[in-house]
Chains A and B, each alone.
Chain A
Amino acid sequence: MSPEVALPILIPLTAGALSMAFWRSRMMQRLIGVAGTAALLAVSIWLFASVQDQGHVIMNAGGWAAPFGITLVADLLSAIMVVLTGIIGFAVAVYSLPTIGRGHETFGYYPLLHLLLAGVAGAFLTGDIFNLYVWFEVMLLASFALLILGGERAQMEGAIKYVTLNLLSSVIFLSAIGLLYGMLGTLNMADIARRVALVEDNTLIDIVAVMFMISFGIKAAAFPLFFWLPAAYHTPPVAVSALFAGLLTKVGVYALFRVFTLIFNQSVDFTHEILLWGAALTMLTGVLGAAAQFEFRRILSFHIVSQIGYMLMGLALFTPLALVGGVFYILHHIIVKTNLFLISGVVHRLKGTHDLKRLGGVYKAWPLLGVLFLIPALSLAGVPPLSGFFAKFVLIRASIEAGEITITVIALLVGLLTLYSMTKIWAEVFWKKAPDDDGAAIKVSPLSQRHLWLMIAPILGLAACTVFIGLNGQLLYDVAEAAAAQLLDPQGYIDAVLGEQP
């Protein structure tokens, strides 16, 4: 019995229920928001420690033996993702205190936040494919509601696209689960993996694999299925944007990593080739889209798309080194991207707009904020010694070793264009003189020092994480390497879940 596998799901669910119980008390909800996410972070670190200790930590819900009941499985990749969920959840909960308005809080912002975290953690930890679908839906429903809290016109328009495409992707996922169950008669992922290996004719399996790829591709915002993301992510409050940017697409990426290493590894030439092209085009379109934008959060949204391409590239190359790079990239990206969104929120709070053309002079007025922006921005572009450099270095080295020159060139080019976008934000927002008509046009309510520091605190913490990853690359590389080794050894996963087979 290992309770630490279930606790990352149970704690946010309980916290969500508790904050529902204190529906009228904003103070209590805020308290539970911070305490609940802090507890989630603590438990996730416990889980990570015991996964490092034991390899796979498994819990059969209700005591039903593996292929029959629902199994919760944590391997190293799941544990890393859950720790990141804890970090991001905590940072966003602290950031929400000064930024989320009364209207949002009274309409259930905190319960939804907890529910979203429960869905994300559940998706990372489940070992059952139908259960994965259920956690996806929990997460989606919470994200729908968070996205439209506030009810502005842009939010509604963004939400319709977001809801439609995500529901479509869920239906494709559900159909694929149905077909897979019809062929194999099981839902446990380890059992599915074992039985797929016994199937002689792979044609139907390949078709189902592509259905999974499309479904998770929509959720991960991969080319050509990413259009809902830049249409929706800049509309809600910044704390919500940051949470979505850090976690939601990464759940899709995680599902792709899980399914295409454990289950669909029977015709790598076919499936992973498609993934490779998808990855290349995702990187390119994302970064080019960002280059055309002049709105802070839209630029960042397009960069999410382009970074997803790097992660998929790690999966698609399917060599040990490439998977290490992919895992490392996810690790680094979640922290950096959330941080950039949080900074865009501080800038918006100080200057009253997201439009680059109307911003300016932030570095002169708040030099600390400028430095804090540079850390994640340069890390995103892959400048040493920050975390992004090692992630990109490992991936590009892996692609050269695999002999895929095209993708190497594209990855390097995209890195350069990312630097261009980040320089653009730096020059427009922080460096240039503030436009003269600014003060008259935009009215900003005064911000107390205490609130400002509450907003800066999570940014400082995440920036410290980025620098830590950069300076201790080897430590994190070892973790990513162990996670990739587990991914490349499906038999280990199967044995751990089902017990040693004769």
Chain B
Amino acid sequence: MEPIMAVVIGVIYAAAIYMMLRRSIVKLVIGLILISNAANLLIFTVAGMTRDAPPLIPMNGDPLGDVIADPLPQALVLTAIVIAFGVLSFAVVLIRRAYQIVRVDDMDQMKDTDT
């Protein structure tokens, strides 16, 4: 499973960076969404994928007995998803407002503040 995931994550990262390098601000946000998902998948995969072994210990069971999935990366991914959701919804609102004010969908036209 891990090799497949590694390839998938790599492809998502590559796609995200390609999208972010485009000039359109909409594609920029799509790139941001993809890259944050790629990071979540990366945490999930790197911490070890354990099938069919939820981190639940039965009543009176041995806490150190069987191999179980590590619950911590799941908590990390959950936190990261929530944060990414908040930040990305901000980014979507931002590009909408920016489009309303600047009236272009092209990063190359937005260089008033550059030097």
Q: Which residues of A contact B (CB under 8 A)?
A: 130, 134, 137, 140-141, 144-145, 148, 151-154, 156-161, 163-164, 167-168, 170-171, 174-175, 177-179, 181-182, 185, 187, 230-232, 234-235, 289, 292-293, 298
Contacts and interface: CB of A to CB of B under 8 A. Distances in A.
B87 A153 contact: no
Interface majority SS on A: helix, strand, loop or mixed? helix
B113 A171 contact: no
Interface residues of B, number: 38
Given A174-B43, A175-B42, A182-B46, A160 B98 contact: yes
A158 B113 contact: yes
A300 to B, nearest CB: 13
B97 A178 contact: no
Given A141-B90, A144-B90, A182 B47 contact: yes
B91 interface: yes
25 contacts: A137-B87, A141-B90, A145-B90, A148-B97, A154-B112, A156-B101, A157-B102, A160-B98, A160-B110, A161-B113, A163-B90, A164-B32, A167-B87, A168-B20, A171-B38, A171-B39, A174-B40, A175-B38, A175-B39, A178-B42, A179-B42, A181-B46, A182-B48, A230-B115, A231-B115
Given A151-B101, A160-B95, A174 B112 contact: no
B98 to A, nearest CB: 4
A427 to B, nearest CB: 21
Contacts of B112: 153-154, 157
Interface of B: 20, 25, 28, 32, 35-36, 38-40, 42-43, 46-48, 70, 72-73, 76, 79-80, 83, 86-87, 90-91, 94-95, 97-98, 101-102, 107, 110-115
A130 B76 contact: yes
A101 B6 CA distance: 51
A156 B42 contact: no
Given A134-B79, A163-B91, A298 B115 contact: yes
Contacts of A179: 42, 46
Contact of B46 (A148, A161, A178, A231): A178
Contacts of A292: 115
A153 B101 contact: yes
B18 to A, nearest CB: 14
A106 to B, nearest CB: 17
Contacts of A140: 87
Given A153-B102, A185-B70, A289-B115, 8 more contacts: A141-B87, A153-B101, A157-B102, A164-B32, A175-B42, A178-B39, A187-B72, A231-B113
Interface majority SS on B: helix, strand, loop or mixed? helix
B53 to A, nearest CB: 17
A137 B32 CA distance: 15
A231 B112 CA distance: 9
Contacts of B102: 153, 156-157
A232 B42 CA distance: 31
Contact of A159 (B38, B80, B98): B98
Most buried by A among B32, B47, B48, B90: B90
Given A144-B90, A151-B101, A154-B113, A130 B79 contact: yes
Contacts of B28: 160, 164
Nearest to A145: B90
B91 to A, nearest CB: 6
Contact of B94 (A159, A232, A235): A159
Contacts of A168: 20, 32, 35
